[in-house]
């Protein structure tokens, strides 16, 4: 677990610690999380970070990790177990939507939007390369664990 102590504009949202890939793997494996596919996504709202895992020899192995921005204020990102169910190439000017609820998805941020602190209307924003990775590489019916 690495120290992310910061000061400044987002300090009330950015927490002191973030998970490195090994700590994230240990966490999801200890939780006993499952998925209908060989992939699993964990979005940690506390650290504003999304991890993508693949099942290898009966254990989750972290493939990728991305900084993100979740919902804030009156439109928080829904928490709990979700299932990826739809891909939309572009919506509301944002690319690579992978839906996990009726109105929320993983998608690319607009150029001026920031990451690392809540700021969306319930979706999980990320860099275009991250949203594109999920869109093209993670199949529908994959479980997303969001908390």
User: For 122-140, how does the pLDDT look when each residue is reduced to its tens digit (9 = 90+)?
Assistant: 999 999 999 999 999 999 9
Per-residue confidence (pLDDT) for residue 73, from 0 to 100: 86
Return the minimum-mean-pLDDT range out of 9-13, 65-69, 77-81, 85-89. Answer: 9-13
Select, from the ranges 10-14, 42-46, 89-93, the one with the highest average predicted confidence (pLDDT): 42-46
If you ran DSSP here, which 8-state letter would residue 75 be given? B
Helix H or strand E segment including 137: helix 128-137
pLDDT of residue 66 exceeding 80, the answer is: yes
Q: How far is CA 15 from CA 48, 59, 94, in A?
A: 9, 28, 27
What does pLDDT average to over the chain? Answer: 90
Tell me how far apart the alpha carbons of residues 122 and 19 are, in angstroms, rounded to a whole number: 23
What is the mean pLDDT of the segment spanning 105-115? 95
**Which residue, chain included where needed, has tokens 């839906």?**
99
30 confidence band (pLDDT: 50, 70, 90): very high
The structure tokens 């000061």 sit at: 7
């Amino acid at each position: 677990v690495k120290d992310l102590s910061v000061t400044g504009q987002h300090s009330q949202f950015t927490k002191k610690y973030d998970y490195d890939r090994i700590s994230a793997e240990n966490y999801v494996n200890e939780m006993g999380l499952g998925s209908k596919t060989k992939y699993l996504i964990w979005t940690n709202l506390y650290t504003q970070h999304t991890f993508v895992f693949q099942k290898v020899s009966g254990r989750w192995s972290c493939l990728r990790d991305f900084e993100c921005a979740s919902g804030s204020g009156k439109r928080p990102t829904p928490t709990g177990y979700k299932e990826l169910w739809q891909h939309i190439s572009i919506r509301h000017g944002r690319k690579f939507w992978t839906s996990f609820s009726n109105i929320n998805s993983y998608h690319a941020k607009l150029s001026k939007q920031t990451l690392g602190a809540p700021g969306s209307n319930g979706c999980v924003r990320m860099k275009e390369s991250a949203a594109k990775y999920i869109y093209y590489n993670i199949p529908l019916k994959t479980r997303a664990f969001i908390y």
